[in-house]
Structures are given as C-alpha cells and as structure tokens.
A and B are shown apart, each in its own frame.
Chain A
C-alpha cells in the first residue's frame, strides 16, 4: 500500500519548492492564470505561432519561479500526452490540402501536418499548465480555489471525498485481487470473468456502506449540510500581479493576433 501511495503522490502531489512564490499564491490566482494559458492556446488559430511561443515561455517562467524540475514535468505530462497525440497522429494522413508527400503507400498533406503541429502544441501547453497547477497547489487547495471561484460546493465536495477515499478503495481492490489470486484465480477466457464481476459488486456494496458510515460520523460531529471553512482565502497583490502577468498578457496577445488575422 505504501508503494502505491508513494507512486500516486509522485504523480499528483506537490513538487518543486513548497516555499516558492508560486506555491504560496492563492489557489484561485493559479487556477485563473493557468486555465487562461490553456484557453488562449486552445483558441489560437493554427498558424499563429507567436501565441504558442508566448504561452510556452509563460509556462517556463512559472515552472522556474516554482522551482519545479523539468524532469518532474516530463514524467507527469507523459502520462496524459500520448493519449491526446495518438488521436492527432492520424490527421496528416486523412486531411487533404496543400502539397502532398508520399511515404510508400501513405499520403501526407501539408494542411494535415499543420493541424498535427498545432494540436500537439495546444495539447502540450494544456497538459503542462495542468501539471504545473498540480505541482504547485495541493489537491485540497485546488478544490478550495474552485469553490472560491463559485464552482458549486456539491462538485468540490464530491471531488474531496473521492480524493480522500480513493486510497481506501484502491487498498480494498488490492486486497480482493490478492484474495482471488490466493485461490488460484487466473481467468483464461471470458466465461471465467464472473468472479471479477462479483468482486466489483462486493466493492460497490462495501463502498456504499462506507458512505453511510462516513455520513454518520459527520453527523456525530455536528455536520448540518455545509462544510465549515478553517481559513478564508484572501487575494493579495502578488496574486493580482500573477493573474495580470499571465492571463492579461496572453489574452491581450491572443486578441491582437486575432485582429491582425
């Protein structure tokens, strides 16, 4: 179990210098700033490369200020990026337009290549933004930030409980798998998969039971439908400067490029 926790913390927990100016920012500032980078990159036309470069530079600066090592960013990004790029990789072969190049039996178009390059840039910028947010902001802080940004409390509560109990449930799944394996369960064809189905049912029932017990434990400590807040969030000058520098500059650049086009 500890191995599992360490593994998942390596992929999701804080990274870099926890005392850095970026780590200490209000989570709302980081969410707004880094979501702005993603939105700007996603909404930029295919060949507006200055905007992509500006977004990338902004991310490099944030990573440097937060002292998040490039190798950490790479390790985390490579979990998500291949999935996105896998879909985009087919575009050059399917989309006609511009000059065509022949690679044996396959034909690649210039227009398709341009789409691939732009999608790759957008995906990389979006992924690295998310990775930087997660590396500089703990998951509970992200949720508090989202709440501060008026995301309905119900969603953030569900996410918070999911985060808390994911580890508990994964541990249960792990124990169930060991229990199956200990009784020589090694499914070889689909008809033998029934045991997995029954394990999933058992897991669902246990999780449901746990939900009820957790609710009782909350009521026992005076829960009346709203989660109490320990320390209210406060936006300071540094937070405003971060939003202005990141979101302000990039959005302005994006609008200017859009007007020129």
Chain B
C-alpha cells in the first residue's frame, strides 16, 4: 500500500540561492485532509509545485504512489491535481467546457469521454450551467470552483489547493466549503486562513522557514497560540475554536480498504 505523500528530507534551492525547502519531512495517508499552514514565504507554494514535479528538489519524494522523477511525470500529473491560487492562471481556455476538458484530453481521453468527465466535474462543483461561458464572465467564487473542476475531471487521487479561500466573500467561501466537503480524494489545503482549515481539515502541519515545525490534529495546532505566534500565524480576533464543527467527510476514500502504517511524521518506512 502506498502513501498519498511521502517526503524525506526534501530540499529545494531557487536559482538565486534562496533555500525555499530546507529538509521537509512529511507523511500523508490516502484519504486524509491536511492543512499546510505557514506565513508568506514559508515555502508552501514551492512544496505544492513539487507534488506533481513542476519543481524537483533533492531528497526523497513519493506522491500518490509514484516517485517524483522525469519518467513518471505524465502519470503523476494525472494522479495529482493542483489548484492554483489565482483562478485566472488556471483557466486559460476560451470557454469553461474546453478548460475542464484540457486535462482529460492531455491524458489521452477520447473527446466523448472527456465531455462526460466535464459534465461530471462541473456538476460536482455545482457549475454545470457555466459550461459554455468564458472564464472572465464568472465571479471569483465561480472561477475558483471551475478551477477545482478542471482537476477533478482528471480523476486525481490527491487534490492540492493553494489558498482556496483567498479573495472570496463570505458566501463564496461557504459555497466552496460545501463543495470541498463532498470531495472524497485526499486533500492538501495550503492556506493561512486558519478558520477555513479548522472547518475542513482534521490534521494540520505548519511549514515555516522551509521546514515542517508542527504536525498534529488541526484543533491541537490551532489551540496552541504560542506556536502560532512564533510562526506569524493567528486566529481571527474573538474566534472560538470550540464552536467550530469540523465538516465530516461525506465518503472516506481509503484506497483498497488499507491504511498506511503510521499517522505521524516519523520516518519509519511507509506502508
């Protein structure tokens, strides 16, 4: 049985010498919902770009059962769906339908099958009515949901969302949570919206200075004010963690009924 993400001592240095990831150890099981929290510049987006081989650092990285290396990129990109922070970066085709079909067609799906997947993915994010519209005609919340559909259509095992709640008004944020709670893939949510993480994720890690500095249940991490403050994070004023009810997973997607061996970041051989 494989893990959703298994990173061992992952290190990445940008060409200008800036060390963005400084020995990241992270272990995530299939079916988990994990929030990656951290201040700006902590390396969150760099980590995300590693997960389907857009960047390749040193150290060991296995994602969705595949080692991240040149030979596995096509399969890896089918298994790992990245949703970028700005939907305008993600939605580059003239119509929503063509954009959602882009991934499946690249994976070799026949047009008829791709169209089926488009309908299914748009229905999953409640945007079926927008298929023939242009991305610039949609609201920010709608664009964000369509961006999620563009990767859902590829039937990924792991969904990685970069700052999904950024620039959303409260209603669009709520609608996004409603959509995300129905998704049964493994979810990695990169964010500094702690309240959003509290509602969606059962586990949280803090990435700071390119390292994982905390890894526990979301509630534990968010309750530790000193820890949060040390890494430039804080809950909104007056926020009562006890009153937040985490949204249950509608259908837990544990593959083959098996689970990974450990729920920890210990570097014991995985699975």
Contacts and interface: CB of A to CB of B under 8 A. Distances in A.
Interface of A: 5, 138-140, 160-161, 163-165, 167-168, 210, 213-214, 216-224, 228-232
Contacts of A232: 111
Given A217-B89, A218-B92, A228-B101, 4 more contacts: A5-B137, A164-B135, A168-B88, A221-B103
Interface stretch (B17-25, B77-85, B167-175, B187-195): B77-85
A213 B84 contact: yes
Contact of B77 (A168, A213, A214, A222): A222
Interface size grouping (class) on chain B: 35 or more
A221 B95 contact: no
B77 A221 contact: yes
A214 B92 contact: yes
A221 B80 CA distance: 9
A216 B102 CA distance: 14
Contacts of A165: 88, 92
B249 to A, nearest CB: 25
A222 B78 contact: yes
Q: Which of A167, A214, A217, A219 has the most CB of B within 10 A?
A: A217
B260 interface: no
Contact of B115 (A140, A168, A230): A230
B105 A220 contact: no
A220 B82 contact: yes
B154 interface: yes
30 contacts: A139-B94, A163-B94, A164-B135, A164-B136, A165-B88, A165-B92, A167-B136, A213-B84, A216-B84, A217-B84, A220-B52, A220-B54, A220-B77, A220-B81, A220-B84, A221-B77, A221-B102, A221-B103, A221-B151, A221-B154, A222-B77, A222-B103, A222-B106, A223-B102, A223-B106, A224-B106, A228-B102, A230-B105, A230-B111, A232-B111
Nearest to B88: A168
B86 interface: yes
A19 B88 CA distance: 30
Contacts of B77: 219-222
B198 interface: no
B54 A221 contact: no
B92 A229 contact: no
B49 interface: yes
B6 interface: no
A140 B89 contact: no
B98 A140 contact: yes
A218 B91 CA distance: 9
B190 to A, nearest CB: 14
Nearest to B55: A216
B94 A230 contact: no
B97 interface: yes
Contacts of A228: 101-102, 105-106
Given A140-B98, A160-B94, A161-B92, A221 B150 contact: yes
8 A-B pairs with the lowest CB-CB distances in the bound complex, closest first: A228-B105, A222-B106, A140-B94, A221-B103, A167-B136, A213-B89, A220-B82, A222-B77
Contacts of A168: 88, 136
B136 A5 contact: yes
Nearest to B135: A164
Contacts of B81: 220
Contacts of A231: 111
Nearest to A160: B94
Given A217-B84, A221-B151, A210 B114 contact: no
Contacts of A224: 74, 106
B42 to A, nearest CB: 19
Nearest to B51: A220
B98 A217 contact: no
B266 to A, nearest CB: 30
A219 B89 CA distance: 12
Contacts of A138: 94
B132 to A, nearest CB: 10
Contacts of B52: 220
B107 interface: yes
Q: Which of A167, A213, A214, A228 has the most CB of B within 10 A?
A: A228
